[in-house]
């Protein structure tokens, strides 16, 4: 067969005529059969639009490359050309054939037939009668040639193709669509997703002209209507309905896929009002399993608390946490439709089925931890007793004191205002007594002072006294609570969950709650643990984990006993008195360390004998960092030198660390390194160092001009403003952590502004839709799997500082 290309001219892109360079994609060679440059089209606004007709062939030999060429053509010309006609490819002769037209052509209207245009004169009507079109064809017989792909272009646009208005009609790129979907997965609403995406365009633009074109081009910057429709599609496909059978169908699929993925385990009990089944969803992620495996405190103490308002149905999330030097770490959680005792018991039993074999640091899922610390919720405590009867259930001392203060502050109990503070003071002495004798003595004084005058108080306190083993500290001296008498760890964890994970907004439904827990919450704790492993903690670590006060102990008098890991440490007040320190379990017989609380005697042993201790984190050894990395990710770096210390120094025989196992570590560094990390605790009492500084300031004030004097005067005003508030505020101001002129309470915003609230349910007119009705009520065709929405308790704004409110004699 004679080639039709023999008499045609071949062009590389660089040698093309200028009108064709603006239309044809680069990186291809073109065999031009016919090029007819037409007179430019001039608009009524006096803009000139180049026009031409082209018949050519391209060096492309398969369908996929032909489609890719067309995508590049649309991007290069800033046009959108939908398909005019689809050709059914029959036989083996035609491999690919398409005919396309400009999106502003009247062919779109022709396809719609008799469909009425509501606003034909609207400024957003895209039909301009444009006649531009393109015909693409790839035939098998041409594959023998070097240029088999045929293109016929009629470039006769009657509008400026690169104008802002023309660009606003382009189709959204698939890559942009995926980026918007990723933002939805992270919890963004249509409004916040669009803002976040446009913010990224601002940062990516190299100059103002590029930014203008990016923001105007719909293919790169979708309009809000598109984002809303995409969000509705995503929500329907990914999250299902807000309630009822469809939601549980989707939730069941998500839970099944999560279990198959190996990232963790979850178990679901669907809600059904007809058979009386509550909604329960238990979750144990991979990170939680590794905490059970490697953190010793997981077998010692577990904090448990519940909170709600995470999604419109007001289901409750119950957290189980432990604590260590790295802070609070999750052991598991479950979501329930109510907080009844029978529901919590069922949820705990389901949770036990998905706990790892090494649950609670090897104690096992059936035995549970040694101690549970909760608030005074009878449903929670009874459920714990039924599921883990061997665990000791303690009450949070803060909640006990707060409840007692509210009781005596209630006017119906007839407690005189002037007696409230003294009654509370006696109660605190009873609670904080270190021994039974001291507690009983304070109890006797309490009865003698107040029982005769206040019979209601007598009845109430006798009920409390019968339960004293749960809240009095004298009963906790031998328990492994490590100085933790409140459940503040889990309370703060709920703050993290609401402030950071959920961004103070409600999820769409329980499916999204599950995603936030298994993805966002998991990532948060991974980053926190990796920050500690990399010596870059992103949160404050309590001072007690830095062995404060160990230097006051006489290290030369410390003796090692015949028992492994046991030492005799002298008291700092009475050298004849020795305390027994066990470095393996992190305890001391002193009043502070007897429950496992970090104390200076344990710190002195760690520093002198270079013994690893799980109670301290002044510096992390390579083994420690590897453990934290393992907990976070499930694996560690193959090269252990990645975790090497910066100031390790030369090795010596006396500095070989004797850690029992990777699970009993947090080894201590050298004395010099510990001082470097804790130098903020050292007192600086030499005032003479201020003299040259003040002289220099005085000299600069006189010689550096009015601008410097104005700035220094402003500094003086802020200095005294901070000092008038408190010395800690002044210290923070001098460290540059706070502006003294802007004193804030530190409280979080309770409710977000409606215009930026995410994941809310809205109707077409902007009004908030009602949730589907519950399965009860006797309604015909009602969904028995629709969870009834629980009422939210309204609370007023209060300053939650118990000690301050007691001193001011007001309700907390």
pLDDT tens, residue by residue, 354-389: 999 999 999 999 999 999 999 999 999 999 999 999
**Matching residue, tokens 């649309």:** 74
Pairing of strands 371-374, 301-307: parallel
Give the Cα separation of 457 and 441 in Å (integer): 18
Q: How many CA atoms lie within 13 A of 543 on its CB side?
A: 9
CA 653 to chain CA centroid, Å, is 45
CA 633 to chain CA centroid, Å, is 16
| Cβ proximity of 333 and 283 under 8 Å | yes
The model's pTM is 0.67
| Cβ proximity of 586 and 614 under 8 Å | yes
CA 721 to chain CA centroid, Å, is 36
| Cβ proximity of 331 and 319 under 8 Å | no
| Cβ proximity of 510 and 598 under 8 Å | no
Phi, psi for residue 344 in degrees, rounded to 5: -65, -40
pLDDT number for residue 573: 87
pLDDT digit string, tens, across residues 548-594: 777 888 888 888 888 888 889 998 888 888 888 888 777 888 888 87
First to last CA, the chain: 96
pLDDT number for residue 675: 31
Give the Cα separation of 374 and 394 in Å (integer): 7
- Residue 198: CB atoms within 10 A of its CB come to 14
Give the Cα separation of 208 and 214 in Å (integer): 10
Give the Cα separation of 523 and 520 in Å (integer): 5
Distances 190 to 178, 185, 187, 247, 516 between C-alpha atoms, Å: 14, 12, 10, 21, 18
- Residue 347: CB atoms within 10 A of its CB come to 26
Alpha helices (H) in 451-577, listed in sequence order: 455-466, 468-471, 488-496, 510-515, 522-533
Give the Cα separation of 674 and 606 in Å (integer): 11
Return the ∠ at Cα 724 (arms to 720 and 728), rounded to 5°: 95
Give the Cα separation of 675 and 607 in Å (integer): 11
pLDDT number for residue 760: 43
- Residue 718: CB atoms within 10 A of its CB come to 16
- Residue 390: CB atoms within 10 A of its CB come to 11
Packing angle of the helix pair 455-466, 397-409 (nearest 10 deg) = 170
Give the Cα separation of 597 and 548 in Å (integer): 12
Phi, psi for residue 391 in degrees, rounded to 5: -75, 145
- Residue 792: CB atoms within 10 A of its CB come to 9
132-160 in b/e form (b: 16+ CB < 10 A) is bbbbbbbeeebeebebbbbbbbbbbbbbb
755: left (phi over 0), alpha (psi -120 to 50) or beta: alpha
Tokens describing residue 636: 């560690």
Distances 41 to 51, 52, 77, 81, 259 between C-alpha atoms, Å: 7, 10, 17, 19, 63
The one-character DSSP state at 521 is I
The one-character DSSP state at 726 is -
pLDDT number for residue 576: 84
Give the Cα separation of 658 and 649 in Å (integer): 18
Tokens describing residue 442: 């304070």
pLDDT number for residue 133: 93
For 709, residues 6+ apart whose C-beta sits below 8 A from its C-beta are: 701
Give the Cα separation of 134 and 101 in Å (integer): 6
Give the Cα separation of 575 and 565 in Å (integer): 22
Distances 129 to 78, 107, 110, 482, 742 between C-alpha atoms, Å: 18, 8, 11, 79, 61
For 649, residues 6+ apart whose C-beta sits below 8 A from its C-beta are: 670
Pairing of strands 392-395, 371-374: parallel
Tokens describing residue 480: 């492994």
Tokens describing residue 492: 């703060």
Alpha helices (H) in 685-800, listed in sequence order: 690-703, 705-725, 727-734
CATH class of 245-396+487-528: alpha beta
Give the Cα separation of 429 and 473 in Å (integer): 10
Cβ burial, residue 349 (10 Å; 0-12/13-18/19+): middle
Give the Cα separation of 779 and 120 in Å (integer): 46
pLDDT number for residue 716: 84
Pairing of strands 301-307, 316-324: antiparallel
Give the Cα separation of 13 and 10 in Å (integer): 10
3-state secondary structure of 41: strand
Phi, psi for residue 40 in degrees, rounded to 5: -65, 145
Give the Cα separation of 251 and 313 in Å (integer): 15
Cβ burial, residue 100 (10 Å; 0-12/13-18/19+): buried
Give the Cα separation of 786 and 309 in Å (integer): 17
- The secondary structure element, H or E, covering residue 374 is strand 371-374
pLDDT number for residue 250: 93
| Cβ proximity of 327 and 493 under 8 Å | no
Name the stretches of the chain with pLDDT < 70: 1-7, 86-91, 108-123, 537-547, 610-621, 647-687, 724-782, 791-800
Phi, psi for residue 591 in degrees, rounded to 5: -55, -30
pLDDT number for residue 676: 37
3-state helix/strand/coil string of 342-357: HHHHHHHHHHHHHCCC
**Matching residue, tokens 């984190």:** 617
- Name all contacts of 72-75 with Cβ < 8 Å and 24+ positions apart: 72/25, 73/23, 73/24, 73/25, 73/134, 75/219
């Amino acid at each position: 067969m004679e080639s039709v290309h023999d008499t045609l001219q071949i062009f590389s892109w660089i040698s093309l005529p200028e009108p064709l360079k603006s239309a044809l994609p680069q990186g291809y060679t073109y065999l031009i059969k016919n090029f007819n440059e037409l007179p430019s089209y001039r608009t009524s606004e006096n803009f000139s639009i180049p026009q031409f007709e082209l018949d050519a062939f391209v060096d492309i030999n398969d369908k996929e490359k032909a489609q890719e060429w067309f995508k590049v053509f649309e991007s290069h010309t800033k046009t959108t050309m939908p398909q005019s006609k689809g050709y059914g490819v029959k036989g083996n002769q035609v491999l690919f054939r398409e005919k396309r037209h400009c999106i502003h052509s009247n062919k779109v209207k022709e396809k719609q037939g008799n469909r009425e245009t509501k606003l034909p004169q609207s400024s957003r009507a895209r039909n301009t009668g444009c006649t531009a079109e393109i015909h693409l064809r790839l035939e098998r017989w041409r594959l023998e040639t070097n240029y088999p792909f045929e293109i016929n272009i009629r470039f006769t646009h009657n509008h400026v193709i690169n104008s802002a208005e023309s660009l606003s009609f382009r189709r959204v790129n698939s890559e942009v669509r995926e980026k918007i979907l990723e933002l939805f997965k992270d919890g963004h609403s249509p409004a916040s997703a669009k803002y976040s995406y446009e913010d990224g365009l601002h940062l990516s633009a190299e100059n103002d002209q590029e930014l203008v074109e990016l923001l105007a081009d719909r293919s790169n910057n979708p309009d809000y209507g598109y984002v809303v429709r995409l969000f509705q599609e995503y929500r329907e496909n990914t999250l299902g309905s807000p309630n009822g059978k469809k939601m549980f169908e989707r939730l069941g699929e998500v839970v099944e896929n999560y279990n198959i993925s190996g990232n963790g385990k979850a178990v679901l009990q669907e809600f059904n009002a007809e058979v009386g089944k509550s909604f329960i969803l238990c979750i144990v992620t991979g990170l939680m399993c590794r905490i059970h495996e490697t953190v010793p405190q997981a077998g010692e103490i577990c904090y448990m608390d519940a909170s709600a308002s995470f999604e419109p149905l007001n289901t409750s999330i119950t957290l189980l946490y432990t604590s260590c030097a790295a802070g609070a770490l999750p052991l598991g959680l479950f979501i329930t439709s109510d907080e009844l005792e029978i529901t919590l018991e069922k949820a705990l039993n389901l949770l036990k089925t998905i706990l790892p074999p090494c649950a609670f640091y090897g104690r096992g899922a059936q035995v549970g931890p040694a101690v549970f610390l909760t608030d005074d919720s009878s449903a929670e405590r009874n459920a714990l007793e039924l599921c883990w009867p061997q665990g000791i259930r303690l009450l949070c001392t803060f909640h006990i004191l707060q409840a007692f203060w509210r009781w005596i502050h209630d006017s119906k109990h007839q407690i005189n205002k002037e007696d409230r503070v003294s009654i509370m003071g006696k109660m605190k002495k009873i609670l904080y007594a270190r021994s039974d004798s001291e507690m009983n003595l304070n109890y006797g004084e309490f009865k003698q002072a107040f029982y005769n005058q206040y019979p209601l108080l007598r009845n109430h306190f006798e009920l409390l006294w019968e339960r004293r083993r749960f809240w009095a500290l004298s009963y906790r001296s031998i328990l492994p609570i490590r100085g933790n008498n409140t459940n503040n760890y889990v309370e703060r964890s709920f703050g993290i969950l609401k402030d950071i994970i959920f961004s103070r907004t409600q999820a769409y439904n329980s499916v999204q709650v599950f995603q936030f827990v298994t993805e966002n919450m998991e990532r948060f704790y991974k980053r926190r643990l990796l920050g500690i492993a990399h010596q870059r903690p992103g949160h404050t670590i309590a001072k007690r984990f830095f062995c404060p006060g160990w230097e006051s102990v006489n290290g030369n008098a410390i003796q090692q006993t015949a028992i492994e890991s046991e030492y005799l440490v002298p008291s700092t007040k009475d050298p004849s008195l020795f305390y027994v320190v066990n470095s393996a379990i992190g305890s001391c017989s002193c009043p502070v360390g007897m429950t496992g609380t970090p104390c200076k005697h344990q710190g002195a042993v760690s520093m002198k004998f270079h013994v690893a201790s799980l109670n301290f984190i002044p510096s992390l050894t390579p083994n420690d960092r590897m453990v934290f990395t393992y907990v976070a990710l499930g694996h560690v770096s193959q090269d252990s030198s990645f975790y090497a210390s910066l100031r390790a120094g030369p090795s010596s025989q006396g500095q070989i660390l004797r850690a029992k196992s990777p699970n009993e570590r947090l080894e201590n560094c050298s004395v010099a390194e510990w001082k470097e990390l804790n130098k903020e605790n050292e007192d600086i009492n030499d005032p003479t160092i201020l003299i040259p500084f003040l002289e220099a300031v005085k000299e600069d004030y006189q010689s550096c001009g009015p601008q410097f004097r104005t700035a220094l005067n402003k500094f003086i005003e802020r200095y005294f403003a901070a000092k008038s508030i408190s010395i800690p505020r002044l210290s923070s101001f001098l460290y540059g952590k706070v502006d003294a002129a802007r004193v804030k309470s530190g409280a979080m915003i309770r409710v977000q502004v409606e215009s930026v609230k995410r994941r809310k349910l809205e109707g077409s007119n902007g009004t908030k839709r009602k949730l589907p009705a519950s399965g009860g009520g006797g309604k015909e065709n009602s969904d028995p799997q629709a969870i009834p929405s629980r009422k939210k308790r309204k609370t007023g704004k209060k300053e939650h500082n118990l000690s301050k409110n007691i001193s001011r004699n007001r309700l907390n």
